[in-house]
Structure 1
Amino acid sequence: MKTNYSLDDMRLFWVVTQHGSFSQAAQSLNMPVSTLSRRIKQLENTLGLRLLNRDAHRVTLTGSGAQYAQRCGPLLSELQDISDALSAQRHEAHGSIRISAPNNLAQHQLAHIFSAFLHTYPGIKIELSLSNRNIDIEGEHIDIAFRASEHFPLDWIARPLGSIESIICASPGMPLRGDIVHPEQLLDLPVVLSNPVRTWKLHNQQSGEQFSYTPGAMIRLEADDLNLVSQAVTDGLGIGFIPRFIAQYQIAQGQMIQLAKDWTGQPRQLTMLYHDRDNMPHRLRLFIDYMLEHYGSVNPNLSGANLVNPV
């Protein structure tokens, strides 16, 4: 037969056994003696056993009461430990943070910020899941997710970090028919495609003109890893649509050139996602605030101009 009783009544019984007195126990619990006595009597009625012998001078345990106290004491202690541990998450900088991020973004933009954060808070651990595909962040129990797309669960909070801008790139040794100044001149060139971006939405920074370029039959390679795509472009396999924060290094080293320099991709918003504003472990609040404070300043090519005030 299943017994239905309150854990709080069990706690009250335990306090009485520790004080050996209803009056002293009631004082420590800040409740009337009559209420405490009624709650203990209710517990005894629910169990169908007398737990305490009461007289005018003292309270003693019955045999059943002694057995009950012996079993419930460690249980209540364990429950208190659990409560204390969970409460500590609200105030202490320790524990794990599960983070999901695109592989290339993590390598080029996030890794050094994660390291700096961990040096600042040595009691915190990051568990990092890298994928260039949008994983099920709820199913994977992710605390923080970084996305460079507009596709994310609607009930998650999205904080903008900056904008990612892509540019058209090629190898310096790739044969071209004159100077490429307009995307229309790309139509006959071989292409290295970075999935899932199959259409390059371009705009002219000078005139504001818009142009959508969709590679056709000249696709030489498709991949969802931007490092591999960038390497294929520098190897001369074809032109590529590369985020500026990746391409700038190869351009500076002479391994890559920018084509149609007045044309860039429509900026994609980089967002940091998390589930709740309230009842958040302290470690998550520290991480969110750290990212909002530091990301734009150490990643000037992903402008922090879109940042909003932390909540």
Structure 2
Amino acid sequence: MDRFEAMSLLVAVTKHGSLSAAGRATRVPLATLSRKISDLEALLGTRLLLRTTRKITLTDAGVAYVAAARRILEEVENAEREAAGEFTAPKGELVITAPTMFGRLHVLPVIADFLTAFPEINVRLVLADRNVDLLGDHVDMAVRIGKLPDSAMVATQVGTMRTVTCASPVLLAGTGAQGAPRSPDDLFGLPCVTVDTPMPSPPWRFRHPRSGAAIDVAIVPRLAVTTPEAAAQAAVLKVGVARLLHYQVIDAVARGELQIVLDTYEAEPVPVHLVHVLRGQMPLKMRRFLDFAAPRLRQAVSGIASKR
């Protein structure tokens, strides 16, 4: 049996949570994947996975073995990079992830210039409005907007981003005497648009301009959508008030299609970082991209911040 392949498949199962999901991700037939892990268990003389109809869990031996397998696979990956010359010359494939809209508007132009400057580096750009698992998905670097809970990441801050509340001026004018909301409580009298996520929608958080105290407003949306771009467009179409990151609405505000409200109640701007996993020596392709992209993204984020 190919022990290295079996280790990789076992790690994939623990990452994706089931044999079928791991099979889809690795493009290995379910029967083949199950047999290879069974062969690995037979070779080791112990059970690594406990299979039930609901879920798969690791045995104590499996927990220890998967941790060791991850280290081994990472060392092999680094050895392959070194053999390919990635530590001595900037070349090879670089995998970057970024939020969908920010990536399209601000990261993609940087990558286009980077590819011109470094012809021996290829880039795969993964645009996703979720935090991709850098280690598990073999991603080299990510643009993250928001606070970073994971201390294992090495972060280079490139600026901060406002979270703004906005609506169509036509919608606000049509609300009669109320007009634009003067405090977060006024949102209860207005239709709102929210971005739906797999997690329960958090309240909209504001900050009192004098005391600095947090103000949470539980929003019942008139419309819930799955992307920030759709929420911004719905606001332009006068469906309701939306709360989005500044860059997501800045063009519509400049055109007069949206009006920012409650700006004195805005929460603290959130940081924007370039992040990567700490794993020993950094390949030159990553170092070159970090040095190239950081000042350009810093300039882009600063340009957004300068516009009210």
TM-score by length of 2: 0.64
| Equivalent position of 1:288 in the other structure | 290
Cα pair distance change 1:140/1:151, threshold 3 Å: same
How far off is 1:210 after superposition? 3.5
Cα pair distance change 1:96/1:229, threshold 3 Å: same
How far off is 1:98 after superposition? 0.9
Give, in whole Å, the separation in 2 of the partners of 1:258 and 1:303.
14
Give, in whole Å, the separation in 2 of the partners of 1:124 and 1:107.
20
Match of 2:165 among 168, 172, 184: 168
| Equivalent position of 2:130 in the other structure | 133
Match of 2:170, SS?
coil
* Equivalent pair of 1:194/1:222 in contact (CA under 8 Å): yes
Match of 2:204 among 189, 200, 203: 200
Give, in whole Å, the separation in 2 of the partners of 1:303 and 1:228.
22
* Equivalent pair of 1:198/1:214 in contact (CA under 8 Å): no
| Equivalent position of 1:270 in the other structure | 272
Query: Match of 1:149, as an amino acid?
Result: G
Match of 1:100, SS?
strand
Match of 1:125, SS?
strand
Match of 1:214 among 198, 214, 217: 217
Cα pair distance change 1:195/1:212, threshold 3 Å: farther
* Equivalent pair of 1:99/1:128 in contact (CA under 8 Å): yes
* Equivalent pair of 1:162/1:302 in contact (CA under 8 Å): no
- What is the identity percentage for the equivalent residue pairs of Structure 1 and Structure 2? 20
Computed over aligned residues only, the root mean square deviation of the Cα atoms, in angstroms, reads 2.6
Give, in whole Å, the separation in 2 of the partners of 1:188 and 1:129.
39
| Equivalent position of 2:16 in the other structure | none
Query: Match of 2:96, as an amino acid?
Result: I
| Equivalent position of 1:110 in the other structure | 107
Match of 2:247, SS?
helix
| Equivalent position of 1:7 in the other structure | none
| Equivalent position of 2:263 in the other structure | 261
* CA displacement, residues 206-254 of structure 1 (integer Å, 9 cap, x when unaligned): 635444243433x122234111110011111110012112222101111
Give, in whole Å, the separation in 1 of the partners of 2:233 and 2:81.
52
* Equivalent pair of 2:153/2:277 in contact (CA under 8 Å): yes
Match of 2:225 among 203, 223, 226: 223
How far off is 1:83 after superposition? 7.9
* Equivalent pair of 1:181/1:261 in contact (CA under 8 Å): no
Query: Match of 1:184, as an amino acid?
Result: D
Query: Match of 2:207, as an amino acid?
Result: H
Give, in whole Å, the separation in 2 of the partners of 1:83 and 1:255.
52
* Equivalent pair of 1:202/1:212 in contact (CA under 8 Å): yes
Unaligned stretches of 5+ residues in structure 1: 1-81, 305-311
Cα pair distance change 1:262/1:153, threshold 3 Å: closer
* Equivalent pair of 1:192/1:220 in contact (CA under 8 Å): yes
Give, in whole Å, the separation in 2 of the partners of 1:212 and 1:183.
8
| Equivalent position of 2:142 in the other structure | 145
